[in-house]
Structure 1
Amino acid sequence: MIHTLPSRYIGFAAVGCGLIATVIYVLMISVTLAHIETVSGQVPFDMRPLGYSPKDAATLLEALGAEGREYYLRYQISLDTLYPAMLALTLIATFSWFGRHMSGSKLVRSGIILSVGCALLDYFENIGIAAMIWSWPEVSIALVYAASTATIVKSALTTLAVLLVLLIGLLWVRLPKADLCP
């Protein structure tokens, strides 16, 4: 017999993971990524949703200097190791919570798949960035394109997942009240 978590626990998980993800995101934006941009005068890899070229990567890595590259690895990549999981858990819990009230929804299943994809691609992006930093100044063009592609696809999937959760939320609000009972 399969036991499912009560709806309130899924809601608590969504809110709790969402709060943790928000704190990490704010730290990245206001501290680590801001520091990287200040030190280098360049937009960090993480903040380039449309990707970057090998020339862009070389310009950023050169401008960071040894200390900036070490900072990127130690602080930004460390925080960005936690963030994808927290964002994915937030989205998955939110989709699951809505799904409890919208059984059989392909939109909910699609949202969960997108959420996992976002996290995986964010981790691929992070591995690519770390590999570029470690291999500096001998960064391969293929590595830059792989990391850049991960950034682009991650950005697109994240946007789709967030838009989908908003759409499902709107659909859920429009459900008749009788359908909302657990």
Structure 2
Amino acid sequence: MQRAFWISFVVASAAYLAIVLWALPFVSQEAGGQVPFDLRPTGYSMEDAQAFLSALSAPGRDFYLGVQHKLDIFFPAVLALTFILGFQMLFSRWWATFFGFVALLGAASDYLENYLVSVMLTMPVETIEGSLVSLSSFWTISKSISSTLCFAALLFGAARVSLRRWVL
């Protein structure tokens, strides 16, 4: 299981780095420096969405829908797998199951966010409704909370195991 964890960790890290160091900075550049939806952990308002979508160039929109979303099809599943394998190594069955559920919720939230962002990217800006933006923002926040909880749990579990080994 350790080997599977480290392989998934390396793959998830590589995908994450491609997203945050290449894909999303390009999208941001194509939107006049505005932050893409994926990088807004506290969500976004109708005004935020309209401003971002209005500023986003056609090549930026195509890149967001193409390259970025292709990376983001792969990343949530690999990240959830990494979390689940890590939790199984670090926690009792009950806690591993609980945090594994949180990881799956985070992945599902990311996929729902991606779908709704795709819908917004393919619509004329003036036709986007507040309910669509609110729902997309909700899933962005849900993804962010789930991921934060999972990262914190993984770090806590690793620190706890390391401390036990060091002290004993």
CA RMSD of aligned residues (A): 1.8
**Structure 2 residue corresponding to 1:89, chosen from 77, 81, 88:** 81
CA contact (8 A) 2:30 2:59 kept: no
Deviation at 1:58, TM superposition (A): 0.9
Q: Does 1:122 align with 2:110?
A: yes
Q: Does 1:65 align with 2:54?
A: no
CA contact (8 A) 2:41 2:141 kept: yes
Structure 1 CA distance for aligned equivalents of residues 165 and 79 of structure 2: 29
CA contact (8 A) 1:77 1:126 kept: yes
SS in 1 for 2:57: helix
Corresponding residue number in structure 2 for 1:4 = none
Aligned residue pair count: 165
Corresponding residue number in structure 2 for 1:170 = 159
Q: Does 1:98 align with 2:93?
A: no
Corresponding residue number in structure 2 for 1:35 = 26
SS in 2 for 1:52: coil
Corresponding residue number in structure 2 for 1:107 = 95
Q: Does 1:133 align with 2:121?
A: yes
Structure 1 CA distance for aligned equivalents of residues 49 and 103 of structure 2: 27
Corresponding residue number in structure 2 for 1:13 = 4
CA contact (8 A) 1:40 1:64 kept: yes
CA contact (8 A) 1:95 1:108 kept: yes
- Distance change (3 Å), C-alpha of 1:172 and 1:139: same
Identity percentage of aligned residues: 32
**Aligned partner of 2:42: which letter?**
L
SS in 2 for 1:49: coil
For normalisation by structure 1, the TM-score amounts to 0.84
Corresponding residue number in structure 2 for 1:144 = 133
SS in 2 for 1:95: helix
Query: Which deviates the most, 162-171 or 118-127?
Result: 162-171
Q: Deviations over 1:70-112 (max 9, x none)?
A: 111001111111110110000001111224xxxx443222211
For normalisation by structure 2, the TM-score amounts to 0.91
Deviation at 1:174, TM superposition (A): 4.2
Question: Unmatched 5+ residue regions in structure 1?
Answer: 1-9, 178-182
Query: Which deviates the most, 104-113 or 32-41?
Result: 104-113
Query: Which deviates the most, 142-151 or 107-116?
Result: 107-116
SS in 1 for 2:128: coil
SS in 1 for 2:116: helix
Structure 1 CA distance for aligned equivalents of residues 165 and 18 of structure 2: 40
Structure 1 CA distance for aligned equivalents of residues 142 and 37 of structure 2: 14
- Bigger Rg over Cα: 1
Question: Unmatched 5+ residue regions in structure 2?
Answer: none
